[in-house]
Each structure stands twice: as C-alpha cells, then as structure tokens.
Structure 1
Amino acid sequence: MTITNGSGCTAVNTTPVVVGTCPSVPCSLTGTVASSQTVCSGSAVTIQLTASGGTSYQWKGPNGYSSTQQNPTLTNATAINSGTYSVTITNGSGCTAVNTTPVVVGTCPSVPCSLTGTVASSQTVCSGSVVSIQLSASGGTSYQWQGPNNFTSSLASPLISTATAINSGTYSVTITNGSGCTAVNTTPVVVGTCPSVPCSLTGTVASSQTVCVGSVVSIQLSASGGTSYQWQGPNGFTSLMQNPTLTNATAINSGTYSVTITNGSGCTAVNTTPVVVGTCPSVPCSLTGTVASSQTVCVGSVVSIQLSASGGTSYQWKGPNGFTSLMQNPTLSTATAINSGTYSVTITNGSGCTAVNTTPVVVGTCPSVPCSLTGTVASSQTVCSGSAVTIQLTASGGTSYQWKGPNGFTSLMQNPTLSTATAINSGTYSVTITNGSGCTAVNTTPVVVGTCPSVPCSLTGTV
C-alpha cells in the first residue's frame, strides 16, 4: 500500500493475507420443551417451549402443524392433533438443538358430578286460580321445565296463570350447573274445584213504599259488604246501580222489587221490597190569589194587569179578544175598546192547589184635559238687507216646535236662524209650541228686512 500525505511525501507498506479453511468452533446449546401432555377432546392443547440461548424456533407436528413461535398454542384440538411435536431451537451462533414432546388428545375420563336441585313442594290450586311453580337449585345455571298440556319453560321460576284441570299433573325440571352436572326434580300440581267457602252476607234494602201516581218512586238500597247489585222488578225493570231511582211511576210499576247483592268473595244475598203506586188521597188546598184592582184606561194608552199570588208557582190568564198569557204579570199594550172586559187568572201552587181571580178593565175615550201652555218668542226685529235675520224663541213646557214664515220658511228647531235675509224674508213668523201633554200655543213675531239708512262718513286723508 502506498500512503501519500499533504506535502506529497509517500510511504509504501505491505501485509501478508492467507485464505484457507477456518477451524471448527464447538457449539453448546440445550433446548427444553414442556413435558408430555394429555388433553380431552374439545379442550385446548397448549405447547409451551423454553430454550437457553435460542433466538429462533421451528415447530412441526401432526396434521401438518408448523409454527415459528417460541411458545405456540394449538386450540380446539381433536384426535388428529395427537402425536409427537418437535422443535428446532437455534441460537445466535447458529447452534441448533432439537427436542420433542408427545401430545395425546382423547376422551376425558368421567368427572364425578355433585348437584342437588330442589323445587317447590306439591301444590293444589282451585280452578281459575293462579298456578305458581317456584324453583330453587343449588349450583344451577340453566333450567328446563316440562309438564302437562305440553308445558315447557327455561325460566328458573316459571308461572302458569289461569290454570284449569288440563294443567294438573307432574312437572319436572332438569337443573344444570356450570360443570355440566344435571339433576332432575319433579313436583305434582293438582288443579281442581275449590271447596265451598262459607259465605256471610247480610244485605238490606229500604222499607216498603207507597207513592201516588205521577210521583217519584225512589228505591234506596244499602248493603253491607256488597260490591255489586242486580235489581229486578215489575214492567221489566232492571238496574245495576246500588241506589236506583224510578221516576214518573204509574200503576204498572207496582209490585215487588228484588236485589241480588254480591260481595268481593262472591257471596250473595237477595232482598226484596214491595212498592205500591196508586192514586193519592185528596189533600185540602188553601190558596188565596190576588190581582190588581180594576182599571179604566184611555184608548191608545197601556192596559197593565198586575197580579200577585201567595204560594203560586204558575199562572194562566184569559181575557177579551182571545187574550191568553202564562206570565205572572203580563202587559197588554196599545189597547182599544175591543180589549175591554173581565180578565181572569188561574193561580196554581206547588201542591196543585188553584185559585181563580178576576179583574175588570175598561178601555174608552179619555175626557178632555184643560191645557195650560204659554209660549214666548223674541220681540219683533228690523234688520238691514244683507244682514242676518235671527229669530229666537223661548217656550215654557214646550217639547216640540213648528215654525212657519214668509217665502215658504219652515223649521222644527227651537231656535232657528235665517241668514243672509232680503226683503222677501220680511213678514210675520209664527211658531206652534207643543208640550208633553199635547197642549199647544201659537206665537208670532214680525220681521222687517229693509235698506239700512246712510251712515255719515268721517275720513281724513293726507298726501
């Protein structure tokens, strides 16, 4: 080799090299595997390997098995996995060691089971009641029930409801624990008719009743311990009410009414009560009815008939010209002579007692009534042409006014105003004043519309 430095100096050196066969290096490697294994079919075959100094592993075995894992696991083994498994262990120096382990996969020997299952004791239930089968099992994880009428259940404590005779028989349950151990237990169930249970129920109804035709038949019932009631009676009467009421009764409702009272235990009691519906005896009536005193009214005025009756609840009025009314205090308005005559009223109280009263009414022409009315108007007026004519009127007791005047003037105002008057508005203006009684008074006032006289002028102008 020639070596040159930075200044261009050189040096030559040599070294000998021999190429030949290396001497053998002793290998020392011991590999170990798990001891032989015997497993049951269906269980897991686990092969665990340990090797000192190993860096790689090559497993081979039955059924074409191979693995490069150090500690491989073969699961779900069957008989075809039985045989010898070998592993080649290699270390970092390339040394190898081969080890084997036998594995047997077969049927596991029987394992003794210890399981005691218990069920509820035998049961006798009444038809229509609830059959309840309660199960308790020590160590059980699953349950399979079978019984009459194709009954099956996987519940631990199944319930059969609304049982009948077809549910009678022996019920069996297979109890299984986590180890697969089983125990079979049975329990008999009898579904039959329950024995009679003594009933104690006293039902009471209202006492017998006698009512008048057209009155209210009221049947009142009270029952101790009752929860339902069934009534029957004359004329096809039925009711499920505890206290029914039959209204507007007649003779066909007379007879015996019976009620079947049932309590929560199904006990029943039957009670009856007679009811008589007939004609009530006469009850003395005492009723005094009064009406307003006789009336005389003028034609066109209001005929007012006012009635007051003690104890009355209804009223029937009749009178001339076909008059009728059911009002207590009727009013006949705008009466004429044909409304004159006697008016009668039949007064009835709550007991049906009646009293008849009459009152005469005379409708005629009213006599003349003297009128006293003084109306006043504003004093006479003289105005210039083109100015405003104002007629002001005042009347005592007046309620309406009718004005008339020259040039066809009319007005219904109390204080009319005629503006922009000319000579054709000159003349006498009259007003008819009427009060509330119809009395009238006529007043007049003269009005003169002419040319106003000249007015002297006073004007000073400066330039």
Structure 2
Amino acid sequence: LTANGAPTYSWAPGATLSGTFGANVTANPAATTIYSVSFTNTAGCIGTQTTQVIVNPTPTIVTVSNTGPACQGTPVSLAVNSSVAGVTSYAWTGPLGYNANTQNPTITSPAAGNSGAYSVTVTNTYTNGGVCQASGSTNMGIVPVAPLVVTPTFTLCQGTNLNLVAGATGATSYSWSGPPAFSSVSQNPTIPGVLPASSGNYNVTAYFTSSSTTLICTSNAVTNVSVVATSPVNVVLPNNLCQYATANISASAPGAVAYSWAGPSNFSSNLQATSISNVQPSNSGQYFVTATFAIGSVSCTTIGSNQLSVVPVNPIIVTPTVSICEPANANLSSSSIGAATYSWTGPNNFTALTPNPTLFFPTPAASGIYTVSTSYNNGSFTCYNSNTVQLTVNPRITFTLDAFKRLCYNDMLTVNGPAGATTYTWFGSSGFTSNTQNLVIPGIQPSQSGSYTLSVQLGPCITSQKILVEVLTPLAFTLTPPNQTICRGDSVKLFAGSTGGSGNYAYVWNPGVFLGSPTGSVQYGHPIGTTVYNLTGHDIACPNYTVSYTFTLQVNQPPMPDLILEKEQGCQPLCLFYNTKTQNESAVTTFDFGNSMIMQSDSFSYCIDQPGTYNLKITSQGQNGCIGHYTYGAPIVVWPKPQSDFGWNPDVVTTSNNQVVFDPTHKYGPITSMNWMFSGTGINGYDTSNVEHPQRVF
C-alpha cells in the first residue's frame, strides 16, 4: 500500500500489515479488509484516507488421488477434491507428456510408461480480475501386462506328445488347465502320449507383477487341441498256405478312413480286404497294413503286420519209365525241393518211405504203375504232391560159369553155355570170338590165357558171365644155390625158386643129411665135409613138369689142436707147457683159461698163480679162414698154499709178563700139520714144536 504527499503516515489495522508507519507498507490480509492511513502534513494538519483490499479465496485442495495401481490396459481415473470459487479450472500433467484439463480425467488404456507422479493445478478466476491457484500430486502405479501368445489350434495324433507353448514378455509365472483334469504351472508343459480324451480347450494364464506394488495382473489365452483317435490294425491272413492256393487277407482298425498294404514280391493294395491268387513261395513273408485316421487335413497312421508262409509244393521229378531185366535191382528215383517225406506205393503191396527206393531182385510180376507222394511241412501244416512211374521187369536167362579154370599147356579147354538163349557170343581177351553155345579150344597154349566172356540174349535182356582161364607155362628154375666153399661147422642158407606152371612147387634135396629137411624151397645146410647135392623141382598141378639142378658145397676144416699137458693138477703156481701142434695150419691160436686169463699163441709156457679150477677153451683160426672151437678134455686144478701167519699174546712182553702164547693163522685149508721153529733157544740155538699153540718164556 502506498501513500504520498505528507511527511508522515500511520496505517491501520496493523495486524495484517508489514508495518504501520511509512509511505509504503505491505498488506497480507486473509480476507477482504479496509485499511486506513492517517497522515500529518507540515502544517500539522492531520488527514485520513481509506482503501479496501479485496481478498479472493485461494482454492483449497483436499485430496489428489487415482484409482491405481492398475494393470496395463485397465482404465485409471485421476481425481482432485478442492474448494471452488469464481470460475475454477484444472490442469493435469504426468509421464509420457500426459495432460488433461478436467477435474477427474480417465486414462482409458494405460501403458507401463504411465506409471509415475501426476500433478494437478486448480485455478479460481474471479470477476474482479483475481486469479488464485493451488497445486497437488498423486503417484500412479501401472503393472506391465504383455499379450499372451499361444498356438491357437493343435491337431495331433493319438499317442504323440502334446507340447503346449505360451509366451508373454515380462510374465513371472504361468498356469494351465485343460481336459480331462490337466493342470500345470510350467510355461511350456508337455503331455506325453495324448489320448482322444485330451481334446478340448487349454486355458493358460500369465501372471505379471511390479516391484512398486503388490498388484498381480494376468493375461489369458486359449489353445484348442484336437487329438486324432487311432486304433491298432488287426491283420488277418492264413499263417500257412500251400503253393498255388488263394490267400484271402483282410485288415481292420476301428475309425480308419483308409488302408494301404505292402508285402513280399512288391505286393500292394488299398483295399481293406483283398486276395492273392496262385500264391508262390516268393509271396511268403511279412505283410504290413497302414491304417489312416484323419481330422481335417491332419491324418495319422497305425501299422499292423502278420506273417504269411507259403509252403513250397515243388514238382516231383521222376524217371517216368523204368525198364530193367530181372533180377537187376529196380531203382525208383524221385526228388522234390523242400519235400519233407516221400511215400511210394505199387504192385504187390509195395510201399517205401524213401525218395529213391530200390526193388531188390524183382520179377516180371513187379511190373506196373508206382506212385510217389511227397509232403511239405511248415510246423504242423502239411501240403502234398504226387507223380507216377511205369516199371517194366523183363525176364532173362540166368546162368553161371566157373570163375576160374587152370590148365596145363596143350590141354583141351571146354566150357558149356546155357540152353534156351536166342543168341550166344563169346569174347576172349586174346581176341578170340565165337557164336557157339559151348566154348571148345583144343591144345590150348599159355598165350591163350585170359578172360572169356559169354553173353546170351533173350529178348531185350542180355546176361553175361565170364571165366578166367589160365594156361600154365612150363616149369623152370629162377633161383638155385651156387657152388660154395664153407668152413666146417658153418651153416649155409640154400634157396630154390621157379617160374611157370601153377606156382605151387615142390622141391626135393638129395642127399638129405646135414639139411634141415629133404624138401622145401629154403634149406640150411651144415655138412661136415664136401658134399654134392641134387635139387629136383616139381609142379604139383602139372605132374609132368619137372626140372633138376646139381651143385657142390666145398667144406674146409679148421686146425685141430693136439694138446697133451704134463699134468692137469698141482700146487700154486702151476706152471705147464702148452703146445697145440698146429703151427703149420693155424694162423691164430687163442687159449682162454677163464677169469680174463687169455693167451694167444700156439706154443708157450704159462704159470697159473691163483688157485682154482680152470676149464681151458682153445680157438684155432686156420690159415684157410676157418675157425674151430675146442675144450680141453679135463679141468686144470690149481691147489692153493696154506699161506700161514701167526700172532702172540701179550703184544708187549715185559719182565713181569713174559710168558708168550703163539697163535697161528692161515688162508687156505684144511691144515694137516704145523711145524714151529724158534731161534735163539734150545741147544742148537733154535727149537721146534708141532703143537698148534706153543708157549715160550722170554
């Protein structure tokens, strides 16, 4: 407030003034107030003036608020409660450049960035030109909420895994629920092996929080799941089937909309039920059927299978016509790949269980049709096949010939053939041929030896027999003893060998003395003198075959000792003169007395020192190389000497013990007498005694 024109001033009321004196004061009234100023001029005159200060009401803000905290996207209202006067206006400001000019504005879809402080200014405008304002603020919390993204629709096959996927930026947790009673708190849960009951809507909730508030916000989404129901495929087909039959096959799977077959030999079909005609072993194997199930464009499959076994029924290979001549064996043959058993039937109740039976020695009555049946097995399942054979058994002439015939040369060969044949043919190994029934060869020679075969024919059957003919050659020696020289006492081996004839030989040796035997091909001769031998060989089969041979065995004699000893007995040493008197004939003469006492000489003197009995043996080797062994006619006996000795007792003689007893000893006995002689005693300086144990005093 200002006054002028006077030197002094006084203001009132002073309660709301900054001062009461002065030309200028500041008024701060709370309500409209009339102020007065008194002034005094220089003349001392006092004057008074008044002025009215009109006070317009300032808005009073009671509350500033909002409806938060709120989830992102949820409308939030701001509100201010204040006194009003004059014309009231409002001005709001906030995050993200927010502004509003209504008292209680609304943010219809707040974002996370709308969180923060919101300020409001309340303005009262009066007609007197006054403008009064008041401000306030409020904090708003917006919890960020992001869209929840899911796969809206799933269509999958029964038994597969359902992988639920959800995503929302900033979500802190998730919650799923769905059929039949599914629940999960995983963001992306998996349901293994879903079944049709799992079809339906799966609801997922994402949860959002903010550190500035405890408010929990959510975002929801729905996934629709369709599970294509499937069922096992039942494949029906015959497990075992014979080759060439028809296989009726079918498949069933409840709910299937289509079927597809695949099997051996490139088999395929799109029919639920079909057939395979004229099946072959190559059709054996595993047949697979794929059943298709669908919802919309999504299809699912299941596969079933079954085994078909085609038992091979192979042709039976036979020799359709068999013709034989009795009594040859009839060999029926059959073969069929894979056959498990064979069974033959035929005339005369013939049966056989082998593929290749033999009719042994059949007669013409065995002719006829023979049927073979085969079986083919797969486990307990059996298939069959059959074929036939025509057997014809032709009669023939049966006969025998001697297997072997031996003749001496120049004999007549006669062999009789059988009667009744239509033709006869003889063949000989030497080129001989004949068409007669009987074979006759007079004066046969060794060159005509060999095999003769007779073939006789009756109808288509030919019967053959053969005989081996051996014509013996004349006898001749192949081995004879040579003239030999031996020593007397030696034994010599004598051999005889022959060729030709029957090979059954007999030998006679003459003279038979000094031989092991007068007959035989091997002999041991030991003649004591020179001998001339005659050897005769005989062929036993051909008595007119005889050969002879003469040889000589020259026998040399060894030197004959003529030993005459002076005596054959005596005391040791026994010394004698030995002379065999063979010096002109003997090359070496050896005397063997025994006990390794050997002397080699024909004339010598020799002493035998050791007592004993000696059997003297003399070996005399002559200058002709012959050795003779002789034993002297009587043993040589060498008598032993007594070889005496003696001892005495006591061993040591003293003056107090001087009677000595003498004890004799000897090596050989018996002792017939003893003679003692003691020197230094007796009349002549010695004395004698013939007692066994003499005594002397020294």
* TM-score where L is the length of structure 1: 0.38
Structure label with greater radius of gyration? 2
Higher relative CO (Cα under 8 Å, sequence separation at least 6) belongs to: 1
TM-score (norm 2): 0.27
